[in-house]
Structure 1
Amino acid sequence: MDVKTLSVLPKGMDEAEWLASNTITFFKNINLLSSALSEFCTTRTCPTTRGPGDVTYCWTDDQGKKVRCSAPLYTDYTMSYIQELLTDEQVFPTKAGSAFPRGYLFLVQRIFLYLFRMLAHLYWAHFQDIVRMDLHPHLNTLFAHFVTFGREFELLELAETAPLEDLISALCSQYRY
């Protein structure tokens, strides 16, 4: 599979529409994978949300305050926040001819940041569980496509993805990046 080909903007397609379509698909797939692992990601096993390099991911509340929380709670906050955005017609319009709002790209970047952190947590804290469930081929393919797409449209910051750069290089070369 060539994830680069899957990621580039098809000729004649509106970029905002392409971003919206793929963002929704990534959200659904990551949500499904995360749900499949929910019995392993509990407040007991993951009292904080950790990622590669032993970084702790904090949720930012409505007042802009960083909140340290368990991985299940972080997942719930993340998925609820993204779901809210994806179903908001003012942000992700579904009617033909509707315009995407100012700041749309920033919101897509924010969604990608949160989704990347969820994937990073799954790799860091639950990869053995993923392998036991034989889900690693799905996770690896999803991750390679997600990162390739994110880089194609500058949705992910290198500083954020750097701790997983070895994995990214290995997977993206496997999927012909």
Structure 2
Amino acid sequence: MALCLGQVFSKDKTFRPRKRFEPGTQRFELYKRAQASLKSGLDLRKVVQLPEGENINDWIAVHVVDFFNRINLIYGTVSEFCTERTCPVMSGGPRYEYRWQDGDHYKKPTKLPALQYMNLLMDWIESLINNENIFPTRIGVPFPKNFQQVCKKILSRLFRVFVHVYIHHFDSICNMGAEAHVNTCYKHYYYFISEFSLIEHSELEPLRAMTERICN
């Protein structure tokens, strides 16, 4: 029998502290609306559509932060199985390898163990979503012109977490009874990026067969 979400994704397994929206802000209200739609059992394809009259950048910001929180939680549940011995390279099977580059400490694409890659990835995303110049939280402060480009890069790298988890750690997910929850999170993510064309289709190739099976 599958466990409930709270039992499977416990707080002590969170890979990073959760980013929260400030109550009373427009983004908090959008977040509550999005969560309510998710829990209502509506078609996920409709859940991701931009609500009438809302700003698209606010909608994208809410979802990027929410996906960061949830994917972080999913990886946290399998991180104990993702070691330098089991996963010496950040990959998605033998055909796909992901190297880390941030233009700062890693100026060239660098091969790293998956756990180290994940640590750097989550640090990098966290620094972006906490940066007021990129994800402004104050009323009246506009988003930067490159906001959607930044979000595309974040979402593209979060997809790599799904790739690694599905290909290398899905047995552990199934053993925890969390398969349905991970699949729902992935479907929500996939419908969202598809709705707003946020990732090139070529980047989704590692999970193409699975995506066709569970998302179409």
The superposition leaves residues 50-90 of structure 1 with CA deviations (integer Å, 9 ceiling, x where unpaired) of: 11563111111325410100100110011000000000000
1:33 matched to 2:89? The reply is no
Structure number with the bigger relative contact order (C-alpha 8 A, sep ≥ 6) is 1
Instruction: Give the one of 142, 157, 169 matched to 1:99.
Output: 142
- 1:61 maps to 2:102: yes
Q: TM-score, normalised by structure 2?
A: 0.77
From the superposition, tell whether residues 119 and 126 of structure 1 become closer, same or farther in structure 2 (CA, over 3 Å). same
Give TM-score, length-normalised by structure 1: 0.94
Contact residue 90 and residue 101 of structure 1 kept, 8 A: yes
Unpaired runs of at least 5, structure 2 = 1-40
Residue matched to 1:70: 113
Q: Deviations over 1:142-163 (max 9, x none)?
A: 0011011011111111111022
Equivalent in the alignment of 1:115: 158
- Match for 2:175 among 128, 132, 151? 132
TM-align CA RMSD? 1.2
Structure 1 match to 2:201: 158
Q: Helix, strand or coil: the match of 1:167?
A: helix
> Which ranges in structure 1 are unaligned for 5 or more consecutive residues?
none
Query: What is the aligned partner in structure 1 of residue 35 from structure 2?
Result: none
**Cα displacement (A) at 1:171:** 1.4
Which of residues 92, 96, 101 is equivalent to 1:51? 92
Contact 1:52–1:164 (CA under 8 A) maintained in structure 2:
no
Matched residue pairs, number? 173
Contact 1:61 1:67 in 2 (8 A): no
Contact 1:53 1:163 in 2 (8 A): no
Q: What's 1:20 paired with? A: 61
Larger Rg, first or second structure (1 or 2) = 2
Q: Quote the Cα distance in structure 2 between the aligned partners of 1:102 and 1:59.
A: 25
Higher relative strand content: 1
Does the 8 A contact of 2:163 with 2:206 survive in 1?
no
What amino acid does structure 2 have at the position aligned with 1:33? I
Q: Within the alignment, does 1:147 sit opposite 2:147 as a pair? A: no
Match status 1:42 vs 2:102: no
